């Protein structure tokens, strides 16, 4: 193996193939394997809210993450600090504080993180009371032998780790929107389960069409992935989930291989949109495996969209053209620093930050039109 081992036991330098791997540690104790690659062009890629919300500050999520990682901070620490901006911003209804609540009016949050160099991960699901679930997911990675803690257990874990627990993460506006949704579905009529579900979905989509709820925030998530100059890759996904979901519902965001997947030798992929479709197809894992086989991130993600389209056969999930009546988006990059934002349908954007600055770009897409078209 080429390269030298520093005093922390990490390999510096690389093999002829640009990859070194070492596993060292004291007797009886194991240090996580650290992957270091050859030089790469630093890039951060995220969902569009990663270059939109600033929480009354001066920088967006992708700008914060890029500045930290190019300044020498840990790759995952940088990305999490970036999404914290969006989690804490009450104007974004898709994640964290002020995220759109579940059917009972309670904000439940999901998140996961993956650290490519350390080959470690952590996640939380249905977490209540903590504005920054990405930090709790990172604590799961760093302080436990687990990958996922959910519900009341996640809340207790967060409290034990010193996180502030709040009774209610609603803002006045998120509560107002929930009350409007409740008014529209009129639960006093005691609809049967199927009718109740249809009424809730129609009410939500009607609020989107009327501009009360941002289309991107109805499903609502931020995914952020990055590669630094040393070729180290990491990713984070965090969300308040589907607006007005069944209490306890967990989508794809905290699930490794679905809402996020990172392989430090290959690349990273994450998603926003209909979580159930992504869960069924484990799309983020599929995208990374496609990149492992040499596909460009764009082509790898378009292949995942095709898989979702093929596997969507229930009539309730199809529009008048026989196509999926929902959207799903992917944000991915490979170990060469190539990146892409891809959606099932056009008209969407994504965020990226490189040495030339942050920008919002149109996504590549599989299908023309809109989901309901």
DSSP 145: S
- Answer for the pair 289, 276: CB distance below 8 angstroms, yes or no: no
Bridge-partner residues for 312, per DSSP? none
| Whole-angstrom distance, CA of residue 362 vs CA of residue 373 | 20
> Helix, strand or coil for residue 110?
strand
Task: Please give the structure tokens belonging to residue 312.
Answer: 């969507």
Q: Which of 36, 132, 221, 343 is catalytic?
A: 221
- Answer for the pair 70, 88: CB distance below 8 angstroms, yes or no: no
Number of residues written out for the chain: 373
DSSP 187: G
Q: What is the CA radius of gyration of the chain?
A: 20
Is 221 a catalytic site residue? yes
- Answer for the pair 116, 145: CB distance below 8 angstroms, yes or no: no
- Answer for the pair 227, 42: CB distance below 8 angstroms, yes or no: yes
Cα 47 to Cα 98, 226, 345, distances in angstroms: 18, 12, 15
Sign for the CA dihedral angle at 300, 306, 308, 310 comes to negative
Q: Which of 58, 80, 57 is nearest to 68 (CA)?
A: 80
Residues with catalytic function: 221
């Amino acid at each position: 193996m080429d390269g030298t081992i520093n005093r922390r036991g990490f390999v510096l330098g690389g093999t002829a193939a640009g990859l070194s791997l070492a596993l060292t540690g004291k007797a009886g104790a194991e240090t996580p394997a650290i992957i270091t690659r050859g030089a790469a062009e630093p890039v951060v890629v995220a969902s569009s809210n990663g270059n939109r919300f600033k929480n009354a500050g001066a920088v967006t999520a992708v700008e914060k993450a890029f500045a930290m990682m190019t300044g020498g901070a840990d790759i995952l620490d940088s990305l999490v600090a970036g999404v914290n901006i969006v989690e804490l911003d009450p104007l974004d209804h898709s994640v964290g504080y002020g995220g759109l609540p579940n059917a009972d009016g309670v904000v439940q949050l999901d998140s996961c993180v993956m650290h490519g160099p350390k080959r470690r991960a952590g996640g939380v699901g249905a977490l209540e009371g903590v504005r920054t679930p990405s930090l709790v997911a990172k604590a799961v990675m760093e302080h436990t032998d687990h990958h996922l803690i959910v519900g009341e257990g996640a809340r207790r874990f967060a409290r034990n780790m010193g996180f502030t627990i709040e009774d209610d993460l609603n803002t006045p506006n998120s509560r107002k929107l929930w009350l409007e949704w409740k008014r529209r579905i009129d639960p006093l009529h005691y609809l049967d389960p199927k009718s109740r579900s249809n009424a809730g979905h129609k009410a939500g989509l009607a609020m989107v069409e009327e501009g009360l709820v941002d289309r991107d925030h109805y499903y609502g998530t931020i995914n952020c992935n990055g590669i630094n100059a040393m070729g180290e890759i990491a990713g984070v996904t965090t969300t308040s989930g589907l607006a007005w979901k069944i209490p306890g519902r967990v989508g794809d965001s905290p699930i490794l291989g679905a809402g996020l997947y990172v392989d430090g030798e290959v690349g990273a992929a994450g998603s926003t949109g209909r979580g159930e479709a992504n869960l069924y197809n484990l799309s983020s894992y599929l995208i990374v495996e496609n990149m492992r086989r040499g596909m460009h991130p764009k082509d790898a993600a378009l292949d995942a969209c095709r898989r979702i389209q093929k596997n969507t056969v229930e009539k309730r999930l199809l529009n008048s053209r026989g196509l999926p009546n929902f959207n799903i988006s992917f944000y991915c990059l490979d170990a060469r620093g190539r990146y892409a934002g891809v959606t099932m349908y056009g008209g969407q954007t994504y965020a990226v930050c490189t040495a030339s600055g942050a920008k919002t770009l149109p996504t590549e897409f599989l299908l023309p039109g809109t989901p309901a078209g």
